[in-house]
Amino acid sequence: MGWRWRVLLVLALAFALLVPWLGDSYVLKLATRILIFALAATALDLVLGLGGLVSFGHAAFLGLGAYVVGIMFLHDFEGSTFLGIAPTQNIFLQFLLAAALAGGFALVTGAVCLRTRGVAFIMITLAFAQMLFYFFVSLRRYNGEDGIALWSRSLGGWLDLEEQRVFYYFALACLLLFLAFAFRLYHSRFGRVIRGSKDNDRRMQALGFPTYRYRLTAYVLSAAVTAIAGVLLANATYFVGPSYLSWHMSGQLIVMVVLGGIGTLLGPVLGATLFILLEEFLPDALDLMVNGAGEYWRLVLGPLLVLVALFARRGLLGALVGGQRPPLPVAADRHSES
Amino acid sequence: MDLLLLLQQTLNGLQLGVMLFLMAAGLTLIFGIMDLINLAHGSFYMLGAYVTAWLVGLVDSFLPALALALLLTAAVGFLVEAVALRRLYGRDHLYQVLATFGLILFFNEGIKLLFGPQPIFLQPPVWLAGQLPVFGAPYPVVRLAIIAVGLASALLLWWLIGRTRLGMLIRAGADDREMVQALGVDIARLFGLIFALGAALAALAGAMAGPILAVRIGMGEDILILAFVVIVIGGIGSIRGAFVGALLVGLVDTYGRALLPDVLGLFLERTMADAAGASIASMAIYILMALVLAFRPRGLLPARG
Amino acid sequence: MTDEVLQAVDLTKRFGGVVACDRVSLSLPRGEIHGLIGPNGAGKTTLLNLLSGELSADAGSILLTGRDITRLPPHRRARLGLARSFQITSIFPSMSLLENVSLAIQAHAGSSFHFFTDAGSDPALVEPAMLLLEEMGLAERAGLPAARLAHGQKRVLELAMALAGDPELLLLDEPLAGLGPEEGRSMVELLAALRQRTTMLLVEHDMDAVFTLADRVTVLVYGRVIASGDPDVIRRDPEVRAAYLGEEGAD
């Protein structure tokens, strides 16, 4: 990796560490949101970029994580038990629960999905996510479509997560931890099997790899981490609702990954940043040009996405790296030509 | 269980089934032949409903409005394919997902801009008002008409695919795209036509749904998911599969919602049965899909090749 | 331990009404290079697919070093010592040559459920991979993305990957496909050098290569074995000549 990239990374990290001291609470909230979606997008990239599997149902995992928080909160608030178990507000336990729940759902549905490929795979992942969406909508016990409003955040042990700065650093820590893990994963034996399976699954099997097992593992792993992002999301917004499981949400996650650059370690982070900033400021920009136009900002976003799909193959990161080189991970493999 | 109610639910299931078929037929062809995943297919459904409602307001006559709406939507479909989607054939499905997702946003916002965010009402024509007795059960004429139109469309498609030159090209294209091209057929025109046909069918479904459900933004996405389930169950690229799958999904979904709360009410107390029944019913067709895939990964009636 | 590396008995495969493989039997003793020839569409690739597991046979059985592999999926057969190269080059274009071969070696180097250690610096993978690449004459290009190789070099890489697991049986599907005369000669040399390391079933259209390398030859026509045995005898067999003369000009 060139020194230029190292400098940029250090600067970005420094900036991320200083954000809470640079702006007001609005900026901090926005930055926190970016971190959370960066985590979800990076988790999605594990199957999308690394594995070449277009999962259009990742919002289901995000939503499951969020609902763990919501349900725990509600039961704790009411003083009731959930299926006989006392609710927990401890965020670490909620992480575990969310990961287990989403992982389990991914295991069962993934076992079905991963026997298909291409168009069928995309549709089936979408279908399962929709199934969960309608399930939560129909769940009147947890307010169905209206969702659950949280009066307090989860408890972080000695960390006061209500304090916006503390929560920001907590989210940042989660993201950095996962990025480190993802980096190791990409270069590990497991990562190579997943990448190989994306390139040429038939060959992988002919070499002796039972690829199905590995892809399912990646899918479950990705789901578990996305659910953790969901726990953070619920806490950040003080809200949980079925909209977190909508296919618009799944679509947004995919957009974030593609915008930034699929299969690159930091692409999804970039993409999430870009998308959320767009979401936040495009309406205002449009309002400046034509009064009242801001409400229809998706009218601009839509064609923009079409253009990206048609012309910007390697996302933002690809455009920055430039040239004819195929997208290598940001931390390039030692043996590759540089 | 009341036999009358059962009969009505069966008819409801059929009605949902034929509407799903109209959505799924075009979509399965596009998936199977062009290998293009089009998420924006639901937008044609929505366009069909909105444009028909608008034209009925102008022309004050249902059938001409409907016919014109179908033509217009087909034209939009043709345009979308030529301008945006043509370059995406053969590309990674990911970019197709991205582009068609963008199209959904565009169409939803566009409709919101033109017609406002509130749902609008599509009046069924006067001659479809009222109810008719079907085996002794009174049933809305509108719904009967939908079933009739749906079945007629299925027959028309069967004739088109099986008995015409265009249909032969479509079937050949499903089997071997390159061969058809090698034969000198203008693939671009053929694909454009298939796309426009699919759009028209979706628009027809939307226009017919208007009188029963609300005409609102995003109405296409809900039925699109169901259409996906239908296609997966029936087999990608297979019109017969789409027909069987559509009827199956329509009936299972309708029966599930109508009967499950009562069936559960035999074991559980009323409010629990209602809640559980509603929740499970909403998942019924997905469970069906998972079951079908477990035994037949390529669907019930997969297309050859 | 049995002396026969491969024993295929009465293998049959039908596609609709067409019998692609009609009761084909084949037996390969250890260390043999066995040529499989026949006109186009004779079912040679189908037979290879049946042996490697990509297709399941309608009837018949396959024994690999005495073990019944008839019902096993491709990856299990590969683990038991069966390797193949593909007619249409099947490598990993986005990875470097070293990564390609390392991956092939990884399949036989223990579990791949390792998430933390860098596979690129694992000597258990890199050293045998580099050795193999040196043997194949590709060592200087080890770091290049595989997509950048010339066609001939890709075919050699293909072979290297197939050899990675030290296979008992190597199925070669037209290794000389698309190679010029010079490259073809070096490929034949490479294959000849492998003679004692593994048993080979060689499907090829290049007759010179086949008769140079093969200890025995089997001729497949319309899915059936019409002759099998000593190459020189096969060469002179009138039925075989008829099958090929009928194809004159096509090859």
pLDDT for A338 equals 29
Q: What are phi and psi of B277, to 5 degrees?
A: -60, -45
Query: What amino acid is encoded at C18 in this protein?
Result: V
Range from A161-175, B261-275, C158-172 carrying the lowest mean pLDDT = B261-275
Tracing tokens 């399976």 back to the chain, one arrives at: A197
What mean pLDDT is predicted for residues A44-65? 93
What mean pLDDT is predicted for residues A14-30? 88
pLDDT for A315 equals 67
Q: What is the pLDDT of residues A300-336, one digit of tens each?
A: 899 999 988 888 766 666 666 553 333 334 333 333 3
- DSSP letters spanning chain B: --HHHHHHHHHHHHHHHHHHHHHHHHHHHHHHHH----TTHHHHHHHHHHHHHHHHHHH--HHHHHHHHHHHHHHHHHHHIIIIIGGGTTS-HHHHHHHHHHHHHHHHHHHHHHH-SS-B--PPPGGG-SEEEETTEEEEHHHHHHHHHHHHHHHHHHHHHHHSHHHHHHHHHHH-HHHHHHTT--HHHHHHHHHHHHHHHHHHHHHHHTTTS-B-TTHHHHHHHHHHHHHHHH-TT-HHHHHHHHHHHHHHHHHHHHHHHHHHHTTS-HHHHHHHHHHHHHHHHHHHHHHHHHH-TT-SSPPP-
Helix/strand/coil for C4: strand
Residue A259 belongs to domain with CATH number: 1.10.3470
Q: What is the pLDDT of residues B45-104, one digit of tens each?
A: 999 999 999 998 888 888 888 999 999 999 999 999 988 888 888 788 889 999 999 999
Contact B94 A305 (CB under 8 A): no
Which residues of chain A lie closer than 8 angstroms to B88, CB-CB? 309-310
Which residues of chain A lie closer than 8 angstroms to B31, CB-CB? 119
Range from A30-34, A177-181, B139-143, C197-201 carrying the lowest mean pLDDT = B139-143
pLDDT for A287 equals 85
pLDDT for A328 equals 35
Q: Name the packing angle between helices B141-163 and B187-209 (round to 10°).
A: 170
Q: What is the pLDDT of residues C65-113, one digit of tens each?
A: 989 999 999 999 999 999 999 988 889 988 999 999 999 999 998 888 8
What mean pLDDT is predicted for residues C123-136? 91
Contact A123 B231 (CB under 8 A): yes
Which residues of chain C lie closer than 8 angstroms to A326, CB-CB? 94, 145, 147
Helix/strand/coil for B296: coil
pLDDT for A215 equals 93
Interface list for A 188-217 with C (CB within 8 A): 188-193, 195-196, 199-200, 202-211, 214, 217
Which residues of chain A lie closer than 8 angstroms to B284, CB-CB? none
| Domain span holding position A286 | 3-337
Instruction: Determine the residue of chain C that is closest to A208 in CA distance.
Output: C75
- How far does A297 lie from chain B, in Å, by closest CA? 8
Residue B237 at interface with chain A, using a CB cutoff of 8 Å? no
A partners (3+ CB pairs within 8 A) are B, C
pLDDT for B90 equals 78
Contact A298 B105 (CB under 8 A): yes
Whether the pLDDT of residue A223 is over 80: the answer is: yes
- Our count of domains for chain A comes to 1
- Flag residues of chain B having pLDDT under 50: 305
Instruction: Determine the residue of chain A that is closest to C118 in CA distance.
Output: A188
Q: What is the CATH number of domain B12-117+141-295?
A: 1.10.3470
From its phi and psi, is residue B299 left (phi > 0), alpha (psi between -120 and 50) or beta? left
Cβ pairs A/C, distance under 8 A: 120
pTM greater than 0.90: no
